[in-house]
Amino acid sequence: MSDERATQIATALAGVRERLDRAVAAAGRAAGEVQLLPVTKFFPASDVRILHDLGCREFGESREQEASAKVAELRDAGLADLRWHMIGRLQRNKARAVARWAFAVHSVDSDRLVDALAAGAVAALDAGERAEPLRVLLQVSLDGDPTRGGVPLADLPVLAERAAGADGLTLAGLMAVPPLGADPDAAFASLGAAHQDLMRVHPRARTLSAGMTGDLESAVRHGSTCVRVGTALLGSRPITSK
């Protein structure tokens, strides 16, 4: 790994931490209430290692194959204290694989995916491949457009019951990405309200995964507890990236 890359990432990380601290203070919230989750999709394991050297332990990935390769590479290199978050769209046939390496899945949006992840998590627990239940966050669709993933707000309570009751899973909270072209403040406000409603029924579902490079301030104003930041830390990805 080059020193130049390490310096670049260290500078970017300090900048993002400062930006997040300012956003948290401006929202009148307590320091440390919002986790910074570096998103390392499309970037090599060597960048994860640099972030690890800088104190990061949890990382977001969005594609199963890429992630499982990176997880294995870093584990073989002796980094045992990492926690991986699956944040991208997930097909049911990848659920079993994801349940082996993921600490949490942020993109759960259907009964069928809940069931597949539960089966995968139970199998991984039985096989000793994981020690704790898999944390799941339900991804909410804020514009009701099912092609972009996410469960419509109206269907959230039923899906939450299913996730909360599933063996091998813990219902940890909600996640959303604002609709393209939408006002992020309005989108995050309705997400924040949905999260408050959810916590009345599921008080331990405390995580609200909201905010990325372009809109983290708005997400923090509306109760985010986890911002998923890629571009501001590692640079721009290929145009095909999701």
Ligand X SMILES: *Cc1c(COP(=O)(O)O)cnc(C)c1O
How would you label 160-176 residue by residue, b for 16+ Cβ within 10 Å and e otherwise? bebbbebebbbbbbbbb
* Cβ 210 vs Cβ 188: under 8 Å: yes
Which two three-digit tokens encode residue 62?
A: 């969005």
Window contacting ligand X (CB under 6 A); options: 24-32, 44-52, 191-199, 208-216: 208-216
Quick one: which of 13, 36, 87, 118 contacts ligand X (CB under 6 A)?
87
Q: CB of 40: closest distance to ligand X in angstroms?
A: 10
CA angle in degrees (0–180, nearest 5) for 16-135-41: 45
Listing DSSP states for 16-57 in one string gives HHHHHHHHHHHTT--TTSSEEEEB-TTS-HHHHHHHHHTT--
Beta carbon nearer to ligand X, 168 or 230? 230
Counting contacts by CB under 6 A, is residue 151 touching ligand X?
A: no
Quick one: which of 134, 177, 191, 220 contacts ligand X (CB under 6 A)?
177
Window contacting ligand X (CB under 6 A); options: 14-22, 109-117, 157-165, 209-217: 209-217
Which two three-digit tokens encode residue 79?
A: 């980094």
Window contacting ligand X (CB under 6 A); options: 6-14, 183-191, 199-207, 225-233: 225-233
Counting contacts by CB under 6 A, is residue 39 touching ligand X?
A: yes
Binding site for ligand X (CB under 6 A): 39, 41, 62, 87-88, 177, 212-214, 228-232, 242
